[in-house]
């Protein structure tokens, strides 16, 4: 730990590890101790607390529910970017092309973070089905703070890495004057989206039924029983014949028996 960061004992780390597992189903290894300290130290300073044990008592006391949500936000936010693992969007493009004319396509980005994945889906569908075509994109996350970013659709130009220049021109508005150095997702794309707070580790709200569900780069944080439970919940929201997509470092082998593998990381519900 740096001289400016309070130390955390093994017992205190276990308290937070167990808490985030109960809330979000996320398994934090000992290697995440440095990350936890780095992300929560400012909160200790904000409250003038001497150590992590005091902060744990604060967030579990029930007296500060907003602080508990903020802690969850800080510990569950992961890196994302536009057109990450691009072959999945090539596959989505083919799904859209095979649809009968006029048929609506509904897609769920189930761990959407700050929205880059959801808006990549939007751009892909707009490219195939038209910006005013019959398609919807739902994004969800457990973190309220990242959902606010996603709903706004307003990003630093640094976030445009991976975004094809023609899509940046076609589907985004570059900021000028006080907004210089940023870009905004076109409102016509944002009109097709909705962003919801969803805890995948709990009973799902009524979100509808989907042709394609993206659950990428989040299962690596779950233990095997939690993976089975989370995927089982999401599969029940998949339309017959629908597709389920996971990250390149993930597999549903031994996780779900209902889905059939089409190619690595891409599955189909018969």
Which active-site residues does the annotation give? 39, 141
Q: Please choose, from the candidates 181, 204, 189, the residue with its C-alpha nearest in 3D space to the C-alpha of residue 150.
A: 189
Other CB atoms within 10 A of residue 8 CB: 23
Beta strand ranges found along 79-179 (DSSP E): 105-109, 135-141, 154-156, 172-174
**Three-state SS at 175:** coil
What gap in Å lies between CA 81 and CA 103, rounded to an integer? 29
Cβ atoms 259, 267 nearer than 8 A = yes
Helices (runs of H) and strands (runs of E) counted in the chain: 10, 10
Query: Phi and psi (nearest 5°) for 57?
Result: -65, -35
Element (H, E) at 84: none
């Amino acid at each position: 730990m740096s001289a400016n960061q309070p130390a955390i004992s093994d017992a205190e780390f276990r308290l937070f590890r167990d808490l985030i597992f109960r809330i979000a189903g996320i398994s934090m290894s000992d290697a995440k101790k440095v990350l936890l300290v780095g992300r929560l130290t400012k909160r200790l300073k904000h409250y003038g607390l001497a150590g992590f044990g005091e902060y744990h008592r604060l967030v579990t006391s029930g007296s500060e529910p907003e602080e508990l949500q903020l802690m969850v936000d800080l510990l569950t936010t992961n890196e994302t970017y536009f057109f990450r693992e691009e072959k999945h969007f090539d596959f989505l493009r083919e799904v859209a092309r095979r649809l009968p004319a006029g048929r609506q396509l509904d897609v769920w980005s189930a761990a959407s973070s700050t929205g880059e994945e959801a808006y990549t889906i939007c751009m892909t569908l707009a490219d195939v089905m038209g910006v005013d075509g019959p398609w919807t994109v739902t994004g969800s996350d457990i973190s309220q703070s990242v959902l606010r970013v996603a709903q706004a659709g307003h990003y630093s130009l640094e976030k445009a890495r991976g975004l094809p220049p023609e899509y940046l021109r076609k589907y985004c508005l570059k900021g000028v004057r006080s907004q210089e150095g940023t870009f905004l997702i076109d409102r016509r794309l944002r009109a097709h989206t909705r962003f919801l707070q969803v805890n995948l580790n709990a009973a799902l709200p009524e979100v509808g039924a989907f042709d394609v569900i993206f659950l990428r780069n989040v299962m690596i944080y779950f233990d095997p029983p939690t993976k089975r439970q989370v995927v089982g919940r999401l599969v029940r929201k998949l339309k017959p014949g629908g597709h389920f997509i996971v990250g390149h470092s993930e597999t549903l082998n031994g996780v779900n028996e209902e889905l059939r593998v089409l190619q690595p990381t891409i599955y189909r519900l018969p």
